[in-house]
Amino acid sequence: MQQPNSSVRFDAVTVRYPGTDRNAVDGVTLEIPHGSFTVLLGPSGCGKSTLLRTVNRLVVPVSGSVYVGGSDVASLDPVALRRRIGYVIQAVGLFPHFTVAQNIGVVPSLLRWNAERTAARVDELLALVNLDPDRYRARYPRELSGGEAQRVGVARAIAAEPELLLMDEPFGAVDAIVRSSLQDEISAIARRVRATILFVTHDVDEALRLADRIVVMRAGRVEQYGTPLDLLARPASPYVADLLQTRDVVRRLGLLRVRDAMRPPAGDSDGSIAADASLRDALNQFLSGAQRLGVREAQTQTGILEFDDVRRALRA
C-alpha cells in the first residue's frame, strides 16, 4: 500500500455463485473509512461473508468493483494483495504440520523476512494475544485449546502488519466466556494496530460491542449502515429493529440509571444530565449530538458519561 490508506469501497458489487438463481450479494455500495472497525451483521446466508471475500479476491464479483486504498482490487495481483490483507476465518485453519511460530510466520516468510526479524515478530505477537512466547512458540496446533488456536489465528493474520484485517466470524466456534475475552483482546489490538477492520458476525451483542460502524445485511443487500447508536436509536426498518431488538434495548435503558454507568469526572463535557436520570434520557442527548455528558448530583459534577458507557451498561 503506497499511501497509508486502507479504506474499502464497494461500488455496486454483485456476486452470483454459479448454479444459483439469486445474487448472493446484490448491488452493494459502501464506503468503509480508513481505520474504522466495521462489522457486517446479518443472519447466515445474507451475503456478509461473500461480500468480505470480495475484498481479498477469494470471491470475484460478476459486476461492480471493490477498491482498497483507492485501487480496484481487480487490477491488483491477488497473491500480493492477500499478503497485505490479514484474514481470519471461523475454522481458524492453522496448518497442523507447522508449529505455532511457523504458523504465525507464514506471511513474513512469504514476504522473505529474515529469520531474526520473523522470530522477534512472532514473540511480539504471541505476547500481544496473551500467550506466553516461551510456552507456546514450539507447540503444534493439536496442543492448543479452541481459544488459543484462534488467538494464534489472529496473530498469524496481523503478522506482516496489514493495514486491513478481514475477520469472518472469528469467534463463532469458541465458548461464550472465551469469546468475551477474545472480543476484549481484539478491541485492544484494533486500537493498537490501527488497521481498518472488517468483521463479519451474526451475533448482535458482538457487533454492538466491537463496532464503530455496523452494516446490517439482508438477502445480499445493505439494510442499514451506521454507528451502533444510529442503529439502536433509529433503525431504518422493522427488520433492523427486530434484529437488534431495539425496543428491548431502549426499554432496558429506561430501567438503568446514569449513576450506575458513569465514570469519575474528567475533562470537558458538552452537556449535562442528572445522576438519577435513566440511560434512555442519556441516549436521547447523545442522539441530539452530545458526545460527553457531565453528570450532576445535588449541583456538583460527580461523573461523566459517554455513549461507550451506555454500551457497556447494556452488556452488564
Partner 1 sequence: MSYLWTHLPLIAQLTGEHVRLVLCGLAIALAAALPLGVAAARKPALETPMLAAAGAVYTIPSLALLALAVQYAGLGFWSVVAVLAAYAQFVLIRAVTTALASIPARHAEAAEGLGMTAAQRFFRVEVPLAMPVFLGGLRVATVALIAIATLGGYVGAGGLGTEIFYGLSRQYPEQTLAGSIPAALLAIAADAAFRFWERGVRLRVTE
Chain positions contacting partner 1, by CB under 8 A: 56, 58, 79-84, 87, 89, 91-97, 106-107, 110, 141-142, 156-157
The least CB distance from residue 230 to partner 1, in Å, is 31
Positive or negative: CA dihedral 226, 228, 234, 236: positive
Q: Which is nearer to partner 1, 157 or 283 (CB)?
A: 157
Contact between 67 and 11 (Cβ < 8 Å): yes
Q: Are 240 and 67 in contact (CB under 8 A)?
A: no
User: Rounded to the nearest whole angstrom, what is the least distance from the CB of residue 35 to partner 1 in the complex?
Assistant: 22
Complex with partner 1: residue 22 or 112, whichever CB lies closer: 112
Q: How far is the CB of 143 from partner 1 (least distance, A)?
A: 10
What is the rounded radius of gyration, in angstroms, for the C-alpha atoms of the chain? Answer: 21
Pairing between β-strand 292-297 and β-strand 300-306 as defined by DSSP bridges: antiparallel
Q: Which helix (H) or strand (E) holds 152?
A: helix 146-157
Q: Which is nearer to partner 1, 19 or 267 (CB)?
A: 19
3-state DSSP call for residue 115?
Answer: helix
Which residue's CB is nearer to partner 1, number 144 or number 253?
A: 144
| Concatenated DSSP letters of 234-271 | S-SSHHHHHHHTHHHHHHHHHHSBHHHH-B---S--S-
Q: Which residues contact 110 (CB under 8 A, 6 or more apart)?
A: 83
Q: Which is nearer to partner 1, 41 or 144 (CB)?
A: 144
Q: Compute the least distance from the CB of residue 199 to partner 1, in Å.
A: 15
User: How far apart are alpha carbons 195 and 163 in whole angstroms?
Assistant: 4
- Under 8 Å between Cβ of 40 and 13: no
For residue 85, the minimal CB distance to partner 1 (Å) is 8
| Residues in a beta bridge with 221 | 218
Q: Which residues, at least 6 apart from 124, have a Cβ–Cβ distance to it below 8 Å?
A: none
Q: Which residues pair with 164 in a beta bridge?
A: 85, 196
CA–CA separation, 226 and 23 (whole Å): 24
CB of 241 to partner 1, least distance (A): 35
Nearer to partner 1, 22 or 97 (CB): 97
Q: Which is nearer to partner 1, 27 or 93 (CB)?
A: 93
Comparing CB distances to partner 1, the nearer of 166 and 232 is 166
